[in-house]
């Protein structure tokens, strides 16, 4: 008996997240500016990581997609057979191409829409798909607040693999969220719900909607900040994004880029809102510490909102010089799930996996597991 192949729709926003590494906090309306600053699009590479998790099952699925950088090139690179049902008029694609591609692909009676992009792309798809088919996102944007994404590209691929193999996977509605990028670039987060989409749900592989708000336990945060300050000597301290790190900066009496990356030396702010390239140039051959926190409710420490912390920089600093800050309340909310690294460099992600020390108060630390779901047994 012939079994109908699983029909997979692929859409890629080629410029998703392109503004992250050059500190533009997104790609909405600034893609060309980001490219002129030297940003390198990564959305196709992210989709390649996802497709690589099930490419060996090629006889069991078929792909329909959009032309060129919107899905065709990526699929052909892995030797997969594709049917192209939409071609953008220009190499520089827009959200109108996303709308048109979704409409063309929905006419193909597909089983799952797999897309690579950020929250803006999710919004575009949500406005077009009307809960007709399941959707799963490959995270490629700077801001990933929606609950429709795999926790990493490979994790998204793991979910698709389970579907192709016919394993039981729960379908659930997940919120599509997005923020005002203009306000975001000015340090203000204004998130809004734009709807929901049906996603294949697996808590190991599909992320939660990002938790908002500022940690209210000021005493604990003060203790965490005191621990960081007590150890500050001659090293250069790269201060990552997030409210917990921002609290430490406030305790130091320094201005802080809440949604960016700053550099401190000898208790003085020497560089604010740095790009990936600037950070590497500034700290090359210097003793450095990297201070980061996790995203509440999700557990990511790299790969969400801090793309300025590039794989090259992380390798240059070394795992032993990474300082993770978090309250025990924030860690407890993960319900035993690991901290997640999603740098875009598979070997680095594996090197960072294992256990890492987390500062949870003044001279108070715990060891917490770091892993990517696709590495789990």
pLDDT for 3: 53
Residue 368 phi, psi dihedral angles, 5° rounding: -130, 145
Whether the CB-CB separation of 242 and 193 falls below 8 Å is answered with no
332: buried, middle or exposed (CB in 10 Å: 19+, 13-18, 0-12)?
Answer: exposed
Coil vs helix vs strand at 213: coil
Q: Which pTM was predicted?
A: 0.72
Mean pLDDT of successive 10-residue stretches along the chain, which has 377 residues: 75 80 60 65 90 95 94 94 93 89 89 92 90 88 82 92 84 81 60 86 66 61 91 92 91 90 94 94 94 86 89 94 92 86 90 88 86 62
- Closest of 75, 112, 363, 23 to residue 223, by C-alpha: 363
156: buried, middle or exposed (CB in 10 Å: 19+, 13-18, 0-12)?
Answer: buried
Euclidean distance between CA atoms 363 and 360, whole angstroms: 8
Length in residues, the chain: 377
Kindly list the distances between the CA atom of residue 31 and the CA atoms of 27, 56, 361, in Å, as whole numbers in the listed order.
5, 34, 40
Tokens 């309306």 locate to 29
pLDDT for 156: 93
Euclidean distance between CA atoms 30 and 334, whole angstroms: 34
pLDDT for 189: 60
């Amino acid at each position: 008996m012939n079994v109908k192949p699983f029909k997979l729709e692929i859409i890629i926003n080629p410029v998703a997240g392109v503004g992250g590494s050059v500190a533009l906090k997104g790609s909405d309306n600034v893609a060309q500016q980001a490219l002129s600053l030297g940003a390198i699009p990564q959305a196709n590479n992210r989709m390649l990581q996802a497709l690589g998790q099930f490419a060996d099952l090629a006889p069991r699925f078929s792909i329909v997609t959009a032309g060129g950088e919107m899905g065709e090139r990526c699929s052909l690179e892995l030797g997969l057979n594709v049917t192209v049902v939409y071609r953008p008029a220009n190499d520089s694609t827009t959200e109108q191409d996303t709308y048109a591609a979704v409409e063309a692909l929905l006419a193909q009676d597909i089983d799952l829409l797999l897309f690579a992009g950020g929250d803006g792309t999710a919004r575009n798809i949500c406005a077009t798909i009307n809960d007709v088919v399941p959707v799963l996102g490959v995270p490629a944007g700077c801001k990933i607040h929606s609950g429709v994404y795999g926790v990493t590209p490979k994790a998204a691929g793991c979910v698709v693999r389970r579907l192709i193999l016919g394993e039981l996977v729960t379908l659930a509605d997940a919120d599509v969220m997005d923020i005002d990028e203009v306000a975001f670039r000015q340090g203000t987060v204004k998130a809004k719900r734009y709807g929901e989409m049906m996603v294949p749900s697996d808590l190991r592989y599909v992320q939660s909607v990002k938790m908002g708000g500022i940690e209210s336990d000021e005493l604990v945060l003060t203790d965490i900040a005191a621990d960081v300050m007590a150890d500050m000597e001659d090293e250069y301290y790269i201060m990552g994004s997030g409210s917990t790190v921002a609290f430490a900066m406030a305790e130091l009496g320094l201005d802080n880029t809440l949604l960016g990356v700053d550099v401190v030396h000898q208790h003085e702010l020497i560089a604010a809102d740095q790009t990936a390239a600037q950070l590497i140039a500034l700290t090359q051959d210097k003793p450095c510490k990297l201070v980061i926190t996790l995203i509440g409710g999700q557990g990511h420490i790299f790969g969400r909102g801090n793309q300025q912390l590039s794989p090259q920089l992380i390798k240059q600093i070394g795992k032993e010089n990474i300082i993770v800050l978090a309250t025990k309340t924030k860690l407890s909310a993960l319900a035993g799930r690991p901290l997640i690294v999603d740098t875009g460099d598979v070997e680095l992600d594996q090197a960072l996996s294992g256990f890492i020390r987390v500062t949870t108060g003044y001279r108070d630390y715990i060891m917490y597991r770091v892993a990517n779901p696709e590495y789990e047994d």
